Amino acid sequence: MLTGPRPRAACDAGDDVRDIEMSVRDPDRFGAIFDRYFGEIHRYVARRLGDEAADDIAAETFLTAFGKRHRFDASRGIVRAWLFGIATNHMSHYRRRELRKYRAMQRAGAALPGEGPGDPVADLVTAGAIHRRLAGALAKLSHGDREVLLLIALGGLSHAEVAAALGIPYGTVASRLSRARRKLRAELTAEAATSGQEDEDDG
């Protein structure tokens, strides 16, 4: 019935779908889905928005998923992608905050202004100039390109999972990803060529 957290490798998509379907009449079954994915969703959101926002968004994601569990369509995607899709929707309310964070990271020299409790920035203090340029480049990506890039880079989703999570065609995933990578590379090399300008605020 109730299972403890299981490593991802130990369960297959069939387990997930069975748990979701059974949870419609046996809500407790959803606990297995929660145990399997809450940590993963939380860590993904925390990397983008910090721990405090991740507490909110991950909780909200699973509450939403629970409420929609009877509408989960196994033929349209896998549970993990479905959860990342819901988390992405919830994160969209934090878009401006995320952009502010990237711009702050771009500006940061030796230290960054804190973003409140639960959002330590110690790891950024040592971030090199290239990371600062990268942060600025992330802020300049289009929203759709950034979602694809981060679901793949941070979430570890496959192209097919990203397509399911965002509800976009498979081919669009590939084109958005390559465009995002191209833009990042261009920003990094362009700024490297004009070293010293990376601290300019792009607004």
Partner 1 sequence: MDELQLVRELLAERAAPRPEVVAGARARTLSGSARPRRRHRAAIRVVLPVSAVTAAVAAAVVTTVILPASPPELGVFQLPAGAAGARVGSAADGKRILLTAARTTAGARPPVTGRYWVSPAVVGNFLRVGPSGGHYVVLEKVSNQQWSSNSPRDSSPDVTQALGVQLASPADLAAWRRAGSPTTWDTGQSTSIADPRGLTSGSLYHLKAGPAPPATGTVLYNRDQTFGVGDKLLSARQLLKLPTDPARLTALLLAGYSPTRGDGGPDSYLFQTVPGILAMPVTPAVRSALYRILAGLPGVHSLGEVRDAGGQQGVAVTLDGGYTHCASRFGASGISWTFSSCVVQQRLVIDPATGLPLAQELRYLRLPPGQTWSPPDGLFSFQLFGTAHWTNSSPPVR
Q: Which residues would be at the binding site for partner 1 (CB under 8 A)?
A: 1-2, 24-28, 30-31, 34-35, 38-39, 42-43, 46-48, 51-52, 54-60, 62-63, 65-67, 70, 105, 123, 127, 130-131, 134-135, 138, 149-150, 152-154, 181, 184-185, 188
**CA 85 – CA 153 distance, rounded (Å):** 15
Sequence-ordered list of residues with C-beta below 8 angstroms from that of 91, at least 6 positions apart, any chain: 45, 48, 49, 57, 98
Phi-psi region of 118 (alpha: psi -120 to 50; beta: other; left: phi over 0): left
CB of 45 to partner 1, least distance (A): 9
What length is written for the chain? 203
Crossing angle of the two packed helices 159-166 and 143-153, in degrees rounded to 10: 130
Which residue's CB is nearer to partner 1, number 30 or number 82? 30
Which residue's CB is nearer to partner 1, number 78 or number 139? 139
CB of 77 to partner 1, least distance (A): 20
CB of 78 to partner 1, least distance (A): 19
Which residue's CB is nearer to partner 1, number 39 or number 171? 39
**CA 121 – CA 101 distance, rounded (Å):** 10
